[in-house]
A and B are shown apart, each in its own frame.
Chain A
């Protein structure tokens, strides 16, 4: 394959995959929603869950985006230094978004700041967002795709706490956000929390935490314990589907962390809505791909 053909092939795969993630939810999200649906008993919660499942069925049958807000595309890239398209990757991801915008179709969600106009193509200055992790001595490339919708972007918040406020302060920071903004962000939510040395590291981790599979835990025992405490605590608030009341509120709580400065605790919270459109695809050096999140995806 010439470089040109390789670029074309990967662009097409990514465009198709991005479009697919807008129409079909990941396997783990569907499984969790089925579990939560079975645990609700009020007529209102039942009507809402019935609507959600009917919607996913219709989206698949009619081949349409299941939620109209197909978000601003974000890519979390873990790229080996030996991956043959490392130089072309960022450009081809942008091209894949343009392609997916017209083929899927996706909603136009890139508004240039200050000039305040919609580019009409879903790409603009800095969008789609691409975050890089470089992996030395590897020739593959792993990509998480995420459609960051407006509704679940709104609750995002970050701050730096004084150590005296401790993890108790982290708890309050996260839970306060659930009842002020979270209930409008399409529960049951997936909640990402970053605990780190500063505001920017915490913010980035709180979003990265949303890429983890539902049901996974932080490696640190205390952090995993806190994930469980927060999950049970937010569930006990009883937001229910759509924040209209029910027995559960969240699909999970994921914490990601770094070490911190002795004087500060950076903390951030981000949420994914029930329609959590994240995908995960891994390419080898010959551009053979494996999708781990969506068992039904085919080229």
Chain B
């Protein structure tokens, strides 16, 4: 579901493929509902080991992140700091991960490539970045940690299933049409980089 709240576009889980139709790369959105941290080894377990993910992320969101958690009493936890980790590390697994789990919103840091863009297009999913290094802004959007699964992976890699409120800002980097913000920007960056290499090279001929 989508709601416009104080001028903010808020996606509310469960999210349908239809909800993602009017969301495009470069848009800034927010998320309410179920968000589960999920990163390297969890992806490997689902894709390579064929294990069933113990938190149902279908039509919900995952976050490439390894948080700092404070244990409370009665098997409860507090989210102290949480921010995204480099999404590219999950690129290798993401097509099959989306296909298997039915996740709709992937939040992380930096760009991803064709595997993820194809998954977004084929299965109706988006990838967003939350500005990284802003772990307290993100943590205060977590209302409660509802479950913790695969705890054997340690604090950073446990699946921390959170209920979030206006989690963001999320900048859409891959939309459900498969357009990829970072890959489009990279073409510009590389062109300018080549120009700069030529320009600088003319001024650093120190070996004569």
A interface with B by C-beta (< 8 Å): 44, 47-48, 51-52, 54-55, 58-59, 62, 64-70, 105-109, 117-118, 120, 150-151, 154, 163, 166-168, 170-172, 175-176, 178-179, 183-186, 222, 225-226, 229-230, 233-234, 236-239, 241-245, 273-275
Contact = CB atoms under 8 A, between A and B. Distances in A.
12 contacts: A58-B136, A62-B136, A66-B135, A68-B82, A69-B66, A151-B86, A179-B189, A179-B190, A185-B110, A230-B200, A233-B196, A244-B185
Interface stretch (B50-58, B92-100, B125-133): B125-133
A233 B192 CA distance: 9
> Size range of the interface on B?
35 or more
A68 B69 CA distance: 9
B111 to A, nearest CB: 7
Contacts of A222: 206
Interface residues of A, dominant DSSP: helix
Contacts of B136: 55, 58-59, 62, 64-66
Interface string B173-208: 000000001100110111011011101110111110
A65 B85 CA distance: 15
Given A44-B28, A186-B132, A237-B189, A171 B137 contact: no
A178 to B, nearest CB: 7
B169 A47 contact: yes
A247 B65 CA distance: 28
A69 B83 contact: yes
A109 B82 CA distance: 14
Interface of B: 26, 28, 65-68, 70, 80-83, 85-88, 109-111, 129, 131-137, 139-140, 154-156, 169, 171, 181-182, 185-186, 188-190, 192-193, 195-197, 199-201, 203-207
Given A55-B134, A171-B197, A64 B86 contact: no
A86 B192 CA distance: 50
Contacts of B189: 179, 183, 237-239
Contact of A242 (B66, B129, B135, B193): B129
Most buried by A among B132, B169, B192, B196: B132
Contacts of B206: 166-167, 222
B68 A107 contact: yes
B86 A154 contact: yes
Nearest to B157: A118
A295 B68 CA distance: 26
A138 B159 CA distance: 51
A150 B110 CA distance: 13
A68 B81 contact: yes
Given A55-B137, A167-B204, A230-B200, 18 more contacts: A47-B131, A47-B169, A66-B81, A67-B83, A68-B139, A107-B156, A108-B154, A109-B156, A166-B207, A168-B200, A168-B201, A175-B197, A183-B189, A234-B196, A241-B131, A242-B110, A242-B171, A243-B110
B137 A51 contact: yes
A229 B206 CA distance: 14
